[in-house]
Amino acid sequence: MKVIAIPQLSDNYAYLIIDPATREAGIVDCAEVAPILEAVDREGATLTAILPTHHHFDHVGGNEELLAARPGLTVYGFDDRVPGLTDRVGHGDRVRVGSLEAEVLSIPAHTTGHIAYYFEREHAVFTGDTLFAGGCGRLFEGDAAMMIASLRKLRDLPDDTKVYFGHEYTVKNLDFALTLEPQNRVLRDKRAWAATTTGDGGYTTPTTIASEKDTNPFFRWQSPELRATLAAKFPDLPMEDVAVFAKTRQLKDNF
Q: Closest distance between Fe ion and the C-beta of residue 204, in Å?
A: 16
Under 8 Å CB-to-CB from 244, ≥6 apart: which residues? 221, 222, 226, 227, 230, 237
Instruction: Please count the other Cβ atoms lying within 10 Å of the Cβ belonging to residue 178.
Output: 18
114 or 227: CB nearest Zn ion: 114
Q: Closest distance between Zn ion and the C-beta of residue 196, in Å?
A: 27
Q: Closest distance between Fe ion and the C-beta of residue 28, in Å?
A: 12
129 or 168: CB nearest Zn ion: 129
C-alpha to C-alpha distance for 109 and 127, rounded to whole angstroms: 13
Residue-by-residue DSSP string for 18-77: E-TTT-EEEEE--S-HHHHHHHHHHTT-EEEEEE-S---HHHHTTHHHHHHHSTT-EEEE
Distances in Å between the Cα of 98 and the Cα atoms of 6, 59, 233, 246 are 20, 22, 52, 41
Q: Closest distance between Fe ion and the C-beta of residue 167, in Å?
A: 6
The answer to whether residue 55 is catalytic is no
Catalytic residue among 55, 59, 79, 114: 59
The answer to whether residue 123 is catalytic is no
The answer to whether residue 91 is catalytic is no
The listed partner (Zn ion, Fe ion, none) that binds 181, CB under 5 to 8 Å by sort, is none
The answer to whether residue 129 is catalytic is yes
9 or 228: CB nearest Zn ion: 9
* Residue numbers at the binding site for Fe ion (CB under 5 A): 58, 129
- Residues tagged active-site: 54, 56, 58-59, 110, 129, 167
